[in-house]
């Protein structure tokens, strides 16, 4: 058990306050034992199913956000529309949720692997699909977008060779999105896993467990969970004026913090309990802050002007602070909602959880292809969106079912576990990177 501390170790560590520290650690140990006992009561309860549900729902949310944003990207009927503002916020928050859930899954993954095995597993499930996607999916996506915007008029074969001939590497994390499109997420997640590994291993040692217990004690107080907001707000306030672009250094560091937070909250039963106890406080704060964002954007519109001129002005910094409060508040409440209502298993989530990674890898290329053919049609915008999104969903699932799920070679290329001879996959839990 992670928090099963011995009395002598506690006395040596805290000679001036050994009894209070002993009670803190013992309470953490007892709570962890109760949680694990509940999870390990049967084979069906070894898995925290709400993590799977949230992961699948987040992928679907990003899918529909991408389906909506493609209208704006190709400048067909949605250019300069304020509707894209909410889509952008939802996409950025959805990616933060992805990384939070990935951090939580990392806690389980490290429990059954050495550090070397962990990095090897991450490479297999993240970097290999990233490379395959860049080779097979990125050039067609870029080609259709450039042709749709009348920026290219040659053949696809010529475009494919020129796509890789003009690759320019840099230290800007945006380069991963420039050539990987939506697959930048996989590369970011691999980098986060490598960067945070030493810290995660420290948290599994007695000294790290003691630090985590003290942090959980502070955050367990009313409103204390907003202590975690401070690093997020500091990153936005300090770096956003300098690196304002999506997937730049501000987003890279902010999402890295969410990734670490996911690991922390699953490592500590008391932090889990803090989410449950303070979720409705977060809901109220998140609702007020979100309404403020939307009202000032859709109302007089002055808030949107703040985002267009990045600077260290008071107005711009207030916007970044409000954005951080909104994102963290809804993160807390959505995770609580999953704990409370989604910790159940059925065939739908079992199928969706296995499909989530290849679905994510495939979906954007399918959306771009559908948008290229259907957006020029002279029909209502809502009809176009429903047509593009519905057909993209069906085609993506069909490609997964027909070309990936049934064959071990494609499963390996898309980061999935291999099927056993009898047709069943491995029972190891929480290896999903999404």
Structure confidence by residue, pLDDT tens digits, 121-130: 999 999 999 9
Mean pLDDT of the chain: 82
Residues 364, 181: contact at Cβ < 8 Å?
A: yes
pLDDT of residue 245: 85
Mean pLDDT throughout 173-200?
A: 93
Residues 224-243: pLDDT tens digits? 999 999 999 999 999 988 98
pLDDT of residue 84: 53
Residue 15 has pLDDT above 50, yes or no: no
Mean pLDDT throughout 269-284?
A: 94
pLDDT of residue 169: 79
Q: Mean pLDDT lowest for which of 26-35, 98-107, 405-414?
A: 26-35
Domain ranges of the chain: 1-42, 47-413
pLDDT of residue 164: 85
Q: Comparing 17 with 139, which gets the higher pLDDT?
A: 139
Residue 140 has pLDDT above 80, yes or no: yes
Mean pLDDT throughout 181-190?
A: 94
The pLDDT-based confidence of 288 (bands split at 50, 70, 90) is very high
Helix 314-341 with 229-239: angle, nearest 10 deg: 150
CB neighbours of residue 201 within 10 Å: 14
Residues 144, 369: contact at Cβ < 8 Å?
A: yes
Mean pLDDT throughout 103-132?
A: 92
pLDDT of residue 7: 39
pLDDT of residue 80: 42
pLDDT of residue 91: 72
pTM value surpassing 0.85: no
Residue 178 has pLDDT above 70, yes or no: yes
DSSP 151-173: S--S-HHHHHHHHHHT----SST
Residues 432, 109: contact at Cβ < 8 Å?
A: no
Q: Mean pLDDT lowest for which of 70-79, 121-130, 213-222, 267-276?
A: 70-79
Query: Which residue, among 251, 248, 241, 249, has the nearest Cα to 309 in the 3D structure?
Result: 241
Residue 193 has pLDDT above 80, yes or no: yes
pLDDT of residue 77: 42
Q: Mean pLDDT lowest for which of 166-180, 181-195, 330-344?
A: 166-180
pLDDT of residue 45: 41
Residues 55-66: pLDDT tens digits? 999 999 889 888
- Rounded to 5 degrees, what are φ and ψ at 220? -75, -15
Mean pLDDT throughout 20-32?
A: 47
Q: What is d(CA 207, CA 201) in angstroms, rounded to the nearest whole number? A: 11
The three-state secondary structure class of 425 is strand
Percent of residues, the chain, with pLDDT higher than 90: 50
pLDDT of residue 421: 63
Residue 426 has pLDDT above 50, yes or no: no
pLDDT of residue 10: 37
Query: Please, which residues have CB within 8 angstroms of residue 192's CB and are 6 or more apart in sequence?
Result: 99, 102, 103, 255, 256, 259
Residues 337-363: pLDDT tens digits? 999 999 999 999 999 999 999 999 999
């Amino acid at each position: 058990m992670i928090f099963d501390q011995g009395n002598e170790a506690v006395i040596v560590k805290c000679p001036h306050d050994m009894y209070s520290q002993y009670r803190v650690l013992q309470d953490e140990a007892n709570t962890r034992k109760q949680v694990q006992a509940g999870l390990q009561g049967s084979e069906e309860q070894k898995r925290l199913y709400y993590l799977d549900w949230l992961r699948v729902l987040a992928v679907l949310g990003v899918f529909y956000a991408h389906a909506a944003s493609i209208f704006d990207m190709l400048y067909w009927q949605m250019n300069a529309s304020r509707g894209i503002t909410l889509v952008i916020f939802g996409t950025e928050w959805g990616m933060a949720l992805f990384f939070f859930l990935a951090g939580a899954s990392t806690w389980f993954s490290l429990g059954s692997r050495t550090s070397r095995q962990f990095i090897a597993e991450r490479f297999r499930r993240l970097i290999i699909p990233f490379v395959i996607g860049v080779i097979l999916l990125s050039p067609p996506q870029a080609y259709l977008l450039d042709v749709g915007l009348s920026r290219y008029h040659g053949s696809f074969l010529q475009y494919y060779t020129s796509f890789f001939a003009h690759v320019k590497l840099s230290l800007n994390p945006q380069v991963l999105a420039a050539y990987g499109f939506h697959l930048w997420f996989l590369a970011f997640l691999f980098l986060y896993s490598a960067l945070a590994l030493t810290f995660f291993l420290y948290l599994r040692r007695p000294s790290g467990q003691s630090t985590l217990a003290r942090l959980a004690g502070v955050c367990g107080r009313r409103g204390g969970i907003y202590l975690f907001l401070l690093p997020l707000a500091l990153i936005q306030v300090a770096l956003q004026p300098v690196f304002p672009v999506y997937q730049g250094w501000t987003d890279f560091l902010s999402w890295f913090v969410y990734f670490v937070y996911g690991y922390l909250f699953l490592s500590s039963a008391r932090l889990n309990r803090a989410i449950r106890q303070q979720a409705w406080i977060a809901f109220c704060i998140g609702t007020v802050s979100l309404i403020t964002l939307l009202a000032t954007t859709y109302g007089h519109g002055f808030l949107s002007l703040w985002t267009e001129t990045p600077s260290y002005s008071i107005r711009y910094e207030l916007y970044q602070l409000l954005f951080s409060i909104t994102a963290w508040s809804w993160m807390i409440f959505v995770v609580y909602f999953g704990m409370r209502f989604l910790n159940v298993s059925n065939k739908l989530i079992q199928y969706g959880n296995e499909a989530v990674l290849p679905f994510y890898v495939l979906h954007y290329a399918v959306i771009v292809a559908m948008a290229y053919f259907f957006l020029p049609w002279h029909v209502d915008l809502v009809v176009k969106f429903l047509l593009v999104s519905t057909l993209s969903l069906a085609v993506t699932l069909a490609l997964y079912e027909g070309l990936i799920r049934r064959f071990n070679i494609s499963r390996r290329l898309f980061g999935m576990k291999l099927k056993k001879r009898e047709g069943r996959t491995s029972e190891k839990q929480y290896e999903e990177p999404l």
